[in-house]
Amino acid sequence: MDTGSGDKSNADNDLYLPQTDSFWEIGKFNRAVKRCDDGNKLTTDLVSMIGERAELEKAFSKMLKSWSKKWSEYVAKSSEFGSMTSAWKAIMGEADASAEVHQTVHDELQNDVIPAIKSWQKAKYVKSMMHIKTTKDFDEEFKRAQKPWAKLYVKVDKYKREYHTATKALKMAETQENNAKLDGSIPQEQRTKVVEKVERSRKEKEVAKSKYTEALQELNRANPKYMDDMNEVFTRCQTFEKDRLVKFREFLGATEKCLDLSSRLQTPIFQQFPQTIKASDPDRDLTWWSDTYGATMKMNWPIFEEYSDAQRTLSRRGKADIERENPVVVTAIRSSHNGPPGGAPSSSDHRLSTSYVNQSPVPPIRTTQSSVYPKLDTSNASNSNPFDESDDDDDDDDNHDKEKSTTNRSSYGGGTSNGGFSTVPPYPANNVQSAYPASANPFLEDDDNIDSLSPAHHPSHQSPTSIGGSSLDSSAGVPVRALYDYEAQEQDELSFKQGDIFTKLEDEDDQGWCKGRVNGRTGLYPATYVESV
């Protein structure tokens, strides 16, 4: 029997094949072949599932960071203080750490697990044209193993149908024969034909039975080889699928390891998190508040102070607010004996002044607030005096103004202004800063503002570098040498180092500043920081 007739017989006899669902039936191996295609699809779906989980981890990490940033900024600007601030920040710190953990999970899934799956899939499920090569190979091998047995099976089915047809025809002929014997009206010739038909049907049945039996025996003899061939191909299918299952177990295990946060949460920040919350101490916070802003604060109560003309505040025009917060006090040393006529300094005075030439001024003292205990804004109630009286005696106000102006104006003069005592050349300023700034004193009267004094309250003084001289020519100037380093605090000031030589353009003003030029830049500098060349 040729292939064409066999395939045609297979198609024509499909209705006569037994309706079973066994793997050994013709064409039922396609489920094993389809499983290979399903494995490729499952691999693609696994990549999609893990990828979606990775994106969820990334989105959650981003949300945690955004939440932490929002509330960290809130806590920084809020009125919370003390150890409770640390407890607040611990919550945000845990969120930041958790965000990093979930971002790490995303990175490991995207960079380790998914690429490994894709690489394995590409090597295992090799595509050939529109099909997977392995699937096509299995399908062809199953068909080759089943084809010989399928031909015998179709032959058995054909002879079986012929045998059943012959048996049915014989029974009909025997029925007609019995009816003819009982009916006397049937002619003898017709009865003879009925008998001959019965004999012919009996012979056809025997022939069909013989063919059917022989075909069935031949099929049974082919069953072992058929089963061996089919088992060989099926075993390879099982091995192919087992490799997929083993790999899937590895991939899912790697995914589980990435998603397991138990080991990641053993870092110090997660262990310290509950301890930080428990460490908050309300009593300690209240004590700090009372010491810093409350009834247990230290107070510089007013004491009797003797008048001194040896101190003044180095100030600038238009810098009243800055000077209140960080005043620089310059002290002039006067000799204890009468100097020579004309105000010339004595030898002892000269030695005293030169001993300070190389001594750097002490920088202003600045206080810094703790990050745990922030500085509160008290500017709203710093300039009002609840006990200020508008009907104070004018003489008292004048005396008070004169006393403050005497303390803050310059004590550097060109001649003798203190009973013939001569002044010593300038030396480093002593950094004496008030522990209670005027801007924070609610009892300071408006007339006490030093910057509001009229020019009549400030007596004229001469620059120590231009004794007996006149104002300088701003275009030429005179050379001076820096005694100390100075860093500009504002844009209109000059910066220089000790030993630098630059040009002084104007003499010292009534607030202790000179105008000069350094490297082509014109600005202001403290008069006591330089000496004439």
Q: Which range, of 126-135, 162-171, 322-331, averages the lowest pLDDT?
A: 322-331
Residue 390 structure tokens: 């508008």
Residue 299 structure tokens: 């107070």
pLDDT at 83: 86
Q: Does residue 113 register a pLDDT over 80? A: yes
Q: Does residue 178 register a pLDDT over 80? A: yes
pLDDT at 475: 56
Residue 229 structure tokens: 């061939």
Q: How far apart are CA 499 and CA 494, in angstroms?
A: 15
Number of Cβ within 10 Å of residue 383's Cβ equals: 14
Q: Does residue 428 register a pLDDT over 90? A: no
Mean pLDDT of the 480-497 span: 91
> pLDDT-based confidence at 19, cuts 50/70/90?
low
Q: Does residue 38 register a pLDDT over 80? A: yes
pLDDT at 310: 58
Residue 107 structure tokens: 């990175």
Q: What is the mean pLDDT of the chain?
A: 73
| 240-255 confidence digits (pLDDT tens) | 999 999 999 999 999 9
Q: How far apart are CA 169 and CA 201, in angstroms?
A: 6
- Collect all residues with Cβ–Cβ distance below 8 Å to 453 and sequence separation of at least 6: 401, 404, 405
Q: Are 249 and 44 in contact (CB under 8 A)?
A: no
Where along the chain do its domains lie? Answer: 27-266, 311-532
Q: Are 475 and 490 in contact (CB under 8 A)?
A: no
pLDDT at 120: 94
Counting residues of the chain whose pLDDT is more than 90, the rounded percentage is 34
Q: Does residue 324 register a pLDDT over 80? A: no
Residue holding tokens 């059943």?
Answer: 164
pLDDT at 390: 45
Q: For residue 73, with 0-12 CB atoms within 10 Å meaning exposed, 13-18 middle and 19 or more buried, which class applies? A: exposed
For the domain 311-532, what is the CATH code? 2.30.30.40
> pLDDT-based confidence at 186, cuts 50/70/90?
confident
Residue holding tokens 């002619």?
Answer: 187
| 365-423 confidence digits (pLDDT tens) | 334 344 444 544 444 444 444 444 444 444 444 444 444 444 443 333 333 334 333 33
pLDDT at 7: 44
CA dist 438 → 292, 367, 392 (Å):
18, 16, 20
Mean pLDDT of the 192-212 span: 87
Taking only Cα atoms into account, the Rg of the chain, rounded to an integer number of angstroms, comes to: 56
Nearest alpha carbon to residue 18 among 152, 153, 146: 153
Q: Are 278 and 286 in contact (CB under 8 A)?
A: no
Q: Does residue 339 register a pLDDT over 60? A: no
Nearest alpha carbon to residue 252 among 40, 106, 37, 50: 50
Q: Are 265 and 101 in contact (CB under 8 A)?
A: yes
CA 159 to chain centre: 79
Q: Which CATH number fits domain 27-266: 3.40.309.10, 1.20.1250.20, 3.40.640.10, 1.20.1270.60?
A: 1.20.1270.60
Q: Does residue 264 register a pLDDT over 80? A: no
pLDDT at 3: 40
Q: For residue 321, with 0-12 CB atoms within 10 Å meaning exposed, 13-18 middle and 19 or more buried, which class applies? A: exposed
Q: Does residue 267 register a pLDDT over 60? A: yes
Q: How far apart are CA 524 and CA 505, in angstroms?
A: 10
| 344-366 confidence digits (pLDDT tens) | 444 334 433 333 444 555 433 33
Q: Does residue 464 register a pLDDT over 50? A: no
- Collect all residues with Cβ–Cβ distance below 8 Å to 441 and sequence separation of at least 6: 382
pLDDT at 67: 95
> pLDDT-based confidence at 298, cuts 50/70/90?
confident
Q: Does residue 484 register a pLDDT over 70? A: yes
Phi, psi of 311 (to 5 degrees): -130, 145
pLDDT at 275: 75
Q: How far apart are CA 209 and CA 216, in angstroms?
A: 10
Mean pLDDT of the 182-196 span: 79
Number of Cβ within 10 Å of residue 107's Cβ equals: 15
